[in-house]
Amino acid sequence: MKKLVLALTLMAGMAEAESVVVILEITEGSVSREEGLAHWGRIYEVASHPRCSNCHVGASGVPMWSGPSYGEAGPHGMNVVAGESRIGAETLLCSTCHGQANSLLPHGPPGVADVWQLPPAEAEWFGKSSAYICAQIQDPERNGDRSIRDIAEHLDHDLILHWAWAPGPGREPAPYSLQETVNAIMAWGAAGAPCPEG
């Protein structure tokens, strides 16, 4: 079983998309702390939106079904658990239902041209406060050892995140646009990445 999990985890390596947005260089210190906090507020609106936070759950490995299209928020139906593999290798693979494209019907499984999976448990955002998510995103120990610029580039290159702005029929897309979110991250970083009080 261990071998199988390893092989599947390797298969699940993220596909890197071509650059789709422009990463603006903003001079360090040219954005005030106050403006920086306003930029963080926009980033938090995106991060806490159901199209992002339904996947960004913690160690339970249970994805969420939440947002207006789901009515009442609750755990993913059908006892789905991602496990340590984060792709469901221990029980039922996410890819059994989540294919390479969105289902054409509302309430069908969404999909992308990459392996549908949960992020590492440290990137837990669902139900977390703005201050908590802010601290997590800038902590190299919990964000995959990324600088703020790396985070912006991750948004540019990761197909799974692009899905949040093109989630298929019946689902509300994440707020703003990918470009606006990347701009907000770069401007927030130039302000020294300030976080709201806990």
Q: Which residues bind ligand HEC (CB under 6 A)?
A: 14, 46-47, 50-52, 54-56, 63, 65, 70, 76, 78, 80, 82, 88, 92, 94, 96-98, 107-110, 116-119, 123, 137, 143-144, 151, 154, 160-161, 164, 171, 174
Q: Which is nearer to ligand HEC, 36 or 50 (CB)?
A: 50
Least distance to ligand HEC, CB of residue 116, Å: 5
Least distance to ligand HEC, CB of residue 142, Å: 6
Residue 70: burial class (beta carbons within 10 Å; 0-12, 13-18, 19+): middle
Q: Which is nearer to ligand HEC, 133 or 191 (CB)?
A: 133
Q: Which is nearer to ligand HEC, 143 or 191 (CB)?
A: 143
Least distance to ligand HEC, CB of residue 187, Å: 16
The DSSP string of 101-162 is: S--SSTTSPP--SS---PPPGGG--TT--HHHHHHHHT-TTTTTS--HHHHHHHHHHBHHHH
Least distance to ligand HEC, CB of residue 78, Å: 5
Q: Which residues pair with 74 in a beta bridge?
A: 65
Q: Which is nearer to ligand HEC, 30 or 60 (CB)?
A: 60
How far lies 179's CA from each of 48, 147, 160, in Å?
Answer: 18, 18, 15
Least distance to ligand HEC, CB of residue 197, Å: 21
How far lies 51's CA from each of 5, 176, 188, in Å?
Answer: 27, 12, 22
User: What are the residues whose beta carbons fall under 8 Å from the beta carbon of 168, sequence distance 6 or more?
Assistant: 102, 103, 104, 108, 110
Q: Which is nearer to ligand HEC, 106 or 192 (CB)?
A: 106
